[in-house]
Amino acid sequence: MPIMNPARNAKLVPALCLVVGAALARCSEAPSKPSTGATLPAGFVSVGSADGLAVKAVKERARTGDRVTIVGRIGGSVQPFVADRAVFTIVDPALPSCADGGDSDHCATPWDYCCEDRSSLRSATATIEIVDAAGEPLPIGLRSVQGLEPLETIAVTGLVADRNDQGLLIVRAERIERKQNAAE
């Protein structure tokens, strides 16, 4: 094992600090992302009555390939929207969110349904995706796009892309209807 020269180390330490400092500074910068140009078509999300079958009913009846209109509230986790992908989760509207308890200060993220048992939540949750011609989710985040927000009640019309007996249900949306509220 070579013996380190203290005089040499005195010169290397400042140089090493500069390299590490530059690397850390680069890590703190937001990475630049190329623009994908992907957007939802105008009118993909409309406002109306948001009628259809609740998540649990669709999970009981639908098979892969079926066309469905599924109704739910956006939520199921702290971040129900996948960043940079047109994918999000909805929860059966009969399942109460933490906001439905009347204590608005109880939970900072009531759309995560943290007050519910995890197995109840799993049986009442579906994944919604909006895909391109190749069947891949569009490379855009959907939060706040065309009014999509956590706890918003929506009806999604589309095809069941996948489902299993462990609770998975994925619907590829062809259109989305947000439930009209009193302000709209």
pLDDT in tens, 55-83: 999 999 999 999 999 999 999 999 999 99
Mean per-residue pLDDT over the chain, rounded: 81
CATH class label, 45-179: mainly beta
Determine contact, residues 91/55, Cβ cutoff 8 Å. Answer: yes
Label the pairing between strands 53-54 and 125-129: unpaired
Cα separation, 28 vs 41, in Å, equals: 34
Q: 162 Cβ partners below 8 Å, 6+ apart? A: 64, 168, 169, 170
pTM above 0.75, yes or no: yes
Quote the pLDDT of residue 105: 61
